[in-house]
Amino acid sequence: MILVQLAQVASRQGRVDDALALIAEARPLLPSPGPAVLDAVAADALSRVWRWQEAIAPARACAERAPANSGAWVALARALGSTGDDLGALDAAARASSSHRATPTCCAPRPPRSQPCITPTPTPRSPPTTAPLARPRRRAPHLLRLRFVALRPRARAGPHARATSDRRPVTQGEVTTTRSRR
């Protein structure tokens, strides 16, 4: 299997001939007909360099050996679609979708919930604490009042100084609550 991993590395580096040679070297070492990963690596190596016509045969062999593998059907659909066989690509994509749904963990129906996600139960209001380490209560947005104070911009000194009337005043906001009116 080290030869297969070396073939995957060669495939990702764009060395297709080296990848195919490593796969050919690994085939006699494995029992016949060999695992589907050999054809998957060969199809991947050929499709990475856009040799789509040559990638169809290993992609089809991989998809037929591992019919539950949706990635193999997607690789076949991509190779067929790139060569212009639209109906074959659509059929392979449909097989990929159906094999993906056939797995028990995917799209399995979930049991119904015993209670809704959000329960509209009101929470009792607690009186505010005056402890020094207590976290401040969050106030509802409609209870906040914004008071803006306009500040005068500082005049620049030096030869590039402009008049202060040319600049807009800077606004600084102060947030107070309606309960603590100042």
Distance of alpha carbon 109 from alpha carbon 142, whole angstroms: 43
Cα–Cα dist 112/109, whole Å: 9
pLDDT band at 158 (very low <50, low <70, confident <90, very high): low
d(CA 97, CA 18): 33
**How does residue 65 score in pLDDT terms, banded at 50, 70 and 90?**
very high
The dihedral of CA 171, 174, 177, 182: what is its sign? negative
Burial zone of 170 (CB within 10 Å; 0-12 exposed, 13-18 middle, 19+ buried): exposed
Q: Tell me: the pLDDT tens digits for 19-47? A: 999 999 999 998 888 899 999 999 999 99
Give strand ranges (E) for 63-164. Answer: 144-151
Multiple choice CATH, 2-101, 1.25.40.10, 1.10.1060.10, 2.40.10.10, 1.10.760.10: 1.25.40.10
Residue 14 scores a pLDDT above 90: yes
pLDDT-derived band of residue 100, with 50, 70 and 90 as boundaries? low
Categorise residue 35: left if φ over 0, alpha if ψ from -120 to 50, beta otherwise: beta
Higher local confidence (pLDDT), 121 or 47: 47
Average pLDDT over residues 49-65: 95
Count the residues in the chain: 182
Is the entire prediction scored with pTM above 0.85?
no
